[in-house]
Amino acid sequence: MSVRFEESGTVVEVRGSTALVRLERSSSCTGCASAGQCHAGRGESERLLEARNEVGAVAGDAVRVAVSAGAAVKATARNYLLPVAGLLIGAGAAQLLAGALLSAAAGANAAGFGGIAGAILGVLLGRRLGRRAAAGAAPLPKITRIAAPRAHVDSPSDHS
C-alpha cells in the first residue's frame, strides 16, 4: 500500500469517470503534485480539484480524496528546491564571472543580481515542469470513499 495524503471535500460536478471536488485549502496544498489540476475556487480558502470517481459519487456527496505522497514530495522538490538551487548557482556563476572579468568588488555585487536571476529562473522552471506534470504525466487524485451521501432536498412536487 502506498503512502498518501487525504483531504475532505464535496463533489460539485460529475464528468464521466471523474468528478470536480471542492476542497478546503490546507497546508498540504502548497506542495501538492495535483496543484496543476486544481482550479481557483470562489474564495481564498477553496480549491476545485478533478479526481477519479471510481466510487460513484454524485454532486453534493461529501467525499475523501487521496493524493500519493510520492507525487507530493516531487512537487515539493520542484516548487522549493529548484528556486534555491537557481539562487545558489546564479550567485556563484555571477560572482565568478564578474570577479574574473572585472574586479572582486564587482563580483560581490554581481552575486546578488545573479542570485535573484537564478531564483526567478528556478521558479519559472518549476512552474513549467508542474504544468507538464499536470498535462498527463501525473496521475489524477482519487476519490477513496463517500463520507456522507448528499442530503435529500424536498421539491414542491414531493408534497402534492
| Full-model pTM | 0.54
Provide the CATH number for the domain formed by 4-73+136-149 in this structure.
2.40.50
Q: Where are the domains of the chain?
A: 4-73+136-149, 80-132
**CA distance linking residue 138 with residue 15, whole number of Å:** 19
Q: In Å, what is the CA distance from 109 to each residue of 6, 104, 112?
A: 46, 9, 6
pLDDT tens across the length of the chain (160 residues): 456 778 889 999 999 899 999 987 665 555 555 555 454 444 456 678 888 899 999 999 999 988 777 777 777 888 899 999 999 999 999 999 998 898 888 888 899 999 999 999 999 998 888 777 666 655 778 889 888 877 544 444 444 4
**Partners of 21 in the beta sheet?**
11, 49
